[in-house]
A and B are shown apart, each in its own frame.
Chain A
Amino acid sequence: MTKYVIRRIIQAIPLLLIISFVLFAFMNSLGDPLAVFAESRQRPTAAQREIMIRRMGLDRPLLEQYITWLIGNDWQQVDSDGDGVVDSNGTRRGVLRGDLGISFVTRQPAWTRIEERLPATLLLMIPSYLITLALAIAIGVFSAVRQYSFLDNVITGTAFFFYSMPIFFIALLTIYIFAVQFTRWGLPALPIGGTGNGTLGDLALHMVMPVFCLVAIQLAAYTRFIRSSMLEVLGQDYIRTAYAKGIASSAVVRQHAFKNAALPLVTLIGLDLPFLLAGAVVTERIFAWPGMGRLFIESFERADIPVMMTILMLLCVLVIVFQILTDIVYTWLDPRIRYS
């Protein structure tokens, strides 16, 4: 098993290098970090724009930019003032030595910008994911056990109703009803935007609408997945045997059926967990939630390559780590599985 894990980690290295280069090339073709100044009130001059381009390293060929991003340039002489003569050592240490670059927008280290957004991201994503899972398991199991019953149809129908709606529509509709209309009707309205005044109660209130929206759009897919997985298991011989032995129905469902049906769910969760860190782009934007999804979009709009690269590479690494973890959890859940 240890050998297997080590092999997987070693395999991941070239994969990450290839991904990082492709992403870097892609990010560099997305747009121009200086475009933001075009309609600004006091535009930087051509000379200042040149300084900025040089400072961001954008005057260098793509491959050189990538190598600087990866291993830094403090080991070589660079032309710091643009006079065509190399004059001093570079200042970048490169991603492999923990230097993720400086944000083009705020001139802070890229990691600082991500650190600022991580807590709020997790605060939104983890509860909504847990609620989604809990509800999906409850509804999925119920729907499988009571397949085609009236309640199964109602619940599945409702879940798909939300699933088929775009998130921005649910989000704006929720705001319109619970914030705007409630205020007009003189009812206690829910707050829009941000995480509140720092108290737990206020935070909970600010979370109600975004969490509801995230759960609403995710629930159907998970419910459907669990329902079909359960249905497959419930049709197995050993379930019939369990019933025949006179075991209580709830015990059959919980202990015999669900445990086996949950195995594919582990794969799904393993794939989803890294993306909790990515945040929810649209939801965060509409509810002005200070999360990673918004940071990514804001960085995209300003072509802030170091920040975008850090977010994307963080996700790549996490996806690989969680894949390996999922495989390990599999062996624990199903002792028949062995890796060689």
Chain B
Amino acid sequence: MKHRKPHLIFALLLALMLALAIAPVGAQDASTLVVGFAQEPDSMNGFYSSMAFAQWANDLVQASLWDVTDTLESVPVLAVEVPSVENGGISEDYMSYTITLKEGLLWSDGEPLTAEDLVFTYQMIEEAGNNYIQGSAIADALESVELVDDLTFRLNFNSPKPFPEDMAGSPGLSTILPEHVFGPVFEAEGTIEFALENQDPTVFSGPYVLTEWRRGEQMTFTANPNFTVATPSIETIIIRFFPDTDSQYAALAAGQLDLVPNVSEGDIPRVAASSEDIEIVTVFGGYIESLWLNLRTEEHPRAGHPALQDVRVRQAIRLALNRDAITEELLVGATSPTDSIYSRSPFEDPNLGVTAHDPAAAAALLDEAGWVDSDGDGVRDKDGVALELRYSTTTAGWRNNIQAVVQQQLAEVGIATILEAYPATDFFGTWANNGINAVGEYDIAQYANNTALTNPANVTVVEALACDQIPSETNQGGQNFTGFCSEEMDALAQVTLTSLDPQERLDAAYAIQAIMAENVPLVNLFPRGDNYAYVSTRFAEAPVIGSGVGNMWFDVVNWQLAG
């Protein structure tokens, strides 16, 4: 018994200390915003990352010449104005841009931010030794970059460039490099690929500076006193990395996070229901979730199902799908079906409409195409071949839920599906690695692709559906995994890319939508928004959050936390 007393006292003391130490952790102080990211940035140099989370972290510390707002308008940040033909910033032939910086701009270390930094940034884009994974559109287009004066620089292109946001503003040029930091590294090593500044940045141009990066855990940003464009009212922003969405949402519900970007549509109901203080904001996301059909023929490693060669079968698949049921029931109405690859962008044809769910019409089309259930097993067939399609996607849970619903809907018209889910590294793998999409190991593949942001040159059309992008032994890097080829659409895509007449570009975009609606190389399901969840009581007023395609923080200097 005599031994137990000290133990008891020790235990009581420990319990008391713990009780005293436990503070209500939900309460953050009024000057700190805590944001949850599902992934950690892989680089803080925007030219070395394709990761949305890296771009979002970068946008907090690196200002653009101009930003894109939540309503897709361009607003100047470091530039005096967004260049246009009208204000003389863009030459009449669209072959050169002249951009002037605001006066008195500073890097966070107090060094002046001048046109020389911009010239250096463009020179670095042109240096092949840097091995950038971004900026190739600029490198391909740039003829020369000139320093006009301390505040002005000029870009000269090898062909007309009607879209300044691709060449100079956000998101085309989201990072401006400080010459006084990267210049000496480049001189010494001939590349900035391994510069310490890429991973441990010290000099910034944006409203915040990165003061601490605890790997795998969090980044701490504090207001940049040398950001002369505006003064942020929130002193500190902490980004915490939560790889598990369940615990991330729990932290939001417990008030330990104030803002979470990238909430998937399927998670919105439970996030919204987890606390009455949580608000969800959806802004233009730039992604369309689609069912891509494999139209490749036998000359390729794996041909798609022969039925998919018949446009009536493809149209029947679209008719058989009740996409409203998917968006309403699985995604709680967070989005709605679309037939347009330009959905929700300014280039969507308002007269295109959405194909209604009509299983009877689908069945009629399949009958007409000769696919009938001859053996009474519930699956249509033709010439001894069953209409059974391999339907693949990634292992993302919400996609697998959609797979199950689509399978049921297609079964109602006699189309059987074999559901397959692959890790993204296999699903999106390259030809050399036998990537599922690349080599065509599917009949229906579900994933998203970018749509147009501020111009109708749609990457899906230009790259993922172009005739010369069909992958093959001699074109292993090809990105047109459907095998669809329309020379008319390719020509229209060139018009969207190069025409200097906005109306002509828009007309071409409309014509592209008509071709796709008719030929159905893919069945668009729904546009995916960028969904942000935030704790409304933490903000003095609702924060204006930008599109993830542009800059989610474009208005961060005006965000105010509740006192």
Binding site for B on A (CB under 8 A): 30-53, 55, 58-59, 81, 105-108, 113, 116-117, 120, 171-172, 175-176, 179-180, 182-183, 188-195, 201, 204-205, 285-291, 294-295, 297-298, 301-303
Contact = CB atoms under 8 A, between A and B. Distances in A.
B48 A205 contact: no
Contacts of B477: 46, 49-50
A42 B50 contact: yes
Nearest to B198: A107
B82 to A, nearest CB: 20
B352 interface: no
Given A32-B430, A291-B216, 12 more contacts: A33-B425, A39-B287, A39-B424, A41-B450, A116-B215, A172-B247, A183-B254, A188-B24, A288-B247, A290-B215, A290-B216, A297-B243
A49 B430 contact: yes
B424 A189 contact: no
A55 B130 CA distance: 11
Contact of A52 (B26, B51, B131, B253): B131
Interface in B28-50: 36, 40, 42-43, 48, 50
Nearest to A175: B250
A116 B424 contact: no
Contacts of A205: 21-22, 25
A45 B474 CA distance: 17
Contacts of B248: 193, 288
A193 B214 contact: no
Nearest to B40: A298
Contacts of A302: 42, 425
B554 interface: no
A201 B16 CA distance: 13
B55 interface: yes
Given A44-B133, A180-B250, A183-B254, A38 B447 contact: yes
B435 interface: yes
Contacts, number: 196
A33 B430 CA distance: 9
B50 A303 contact: no
B315 to A, nearest CB: 27
Contacts of A49: 430, 477
B430 A34 contact: yes
A192 B256 contact: yes
Nearest to B50: A40
A59 B40 CA distance: 28
B194 interface: yes
A48 B424 contact: no
A288 B217 CA distance: 7
Contact of B425 (A40, A193, A301): A301
A204 B21 contact: yes
Interface string B538-557: 00000000001100000000
Interface string B424-449: 11111110110101000000000111
A204 B193 CA distance: 39
B487 interface: no
A38 B424 CA distance: 9
Contacts of A48: 132-133, 136
B26 A183 contact: yes
9 contacts: A41-B50, A42-B134, A44-B134, A52-B133, A106-B42, A188-B25, A194-B214, A288-B248, A298-B40
A116 B216 contact: yes
Contacts of B287: 39
Query: Which among A39, A108, A116, A192 has the greatest number of chain B C-beta atoms within 10 A?
Result: A192
Nearest to B136: A45
Contacts of A286: 244, 246-247
Contact of B479 (A46, A58, A107): A46
A55 B131 contact: yes
B131 A51 contact: yes
Interface string B481-513: 000000000000000000000000000000000
A42 B58 CA distance: 15
A270 B198 CA distance: 41
B171 A180 contact: no
A41 B244 contact: no
A27 to B, nearest CB: 11
Q: Which 5 A-B pairs have the closest CB atoms?
A: A31-B425, A290-B216, A38-B428, A32-B429, A46-B477
B194 A107 contact: yes
Given A32-B435, A288-B242, A41 B286 contact: yes
B199 interface: yes
Contacts of B447: 38-39
Contacts of A30: 425
Contacts of B370: none
B38 to A, nearest CB: 10
Contacts of B198: 107
B255 interface: yes
Query: Which among A116, A193, A195, A297 has the greatest number of chain B C-beta atoms within 10 A?
Result: A193
A311 B177 CA distance: 34
Contacts of B430: 32, 34-35, 49, 53
A36 B479 contact: no
B247 A193 contact: yes
A294 B216 contact: yes
B491 to A, nearest CB: 21
A189 B450 contact: no
A179 B250 contact: yes
B12 interface: no
B25 A40 contact: no
A45 B548 CA distance: 21
A175 B247 contact: yes
Interface in B211-230: 214-218
Contacts of B218: 194
